[in-house]
């Protein structure tokens, strides 16, 4: 059984306190919304993974994403030319 909420004039909904408490949500918390099989799914993102990407983004270091050594080498050579 679900809980019913109203959609406000700006498309906003209030997440009931019982759910905010269960997911440890506070003002400013990020949540993920997805549509699955005609249902709206709301979930708290995995903070560990989000923290990893945030650390990478703010470190200023490059990250190799290719899976082939030849591609990595070519990318390094192109970056050295700049």
Alpha carbon 40 to its chain's center: 17
Q: Render 10-47 in DSSP notation, one character per residue.
A: TS--PPPHHHHHHTT--TT---EEEEETTEEEEE---H
Contact of 31 with 43, CB cutoff 8 Å: yes
- Evaluate if residue 20 carries a pLDDT over 60: yes
The reported pTM is: 0.50
pLDDT in tens, 58-78: 877 766 665 666 777 777 877
């Amino acid at each position: 059984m679900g809980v019913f909420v109203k959609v406000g004039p700006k498309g906003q909904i209030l997440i009931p306190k019982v759910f905010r408490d269960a997911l440890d949500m506070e003002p400013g918390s990020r949540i993920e919304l997805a549509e699955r099989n005609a249902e709206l799914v709301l979930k708290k993102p995995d903070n560990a993974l989000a923290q990893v990407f945030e650390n990478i983004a703010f470190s200023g270091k490059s990250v190799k994403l290719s899976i082939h050594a030849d591609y990595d080498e070519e990318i390094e050579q192109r970056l050295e030319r700049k």
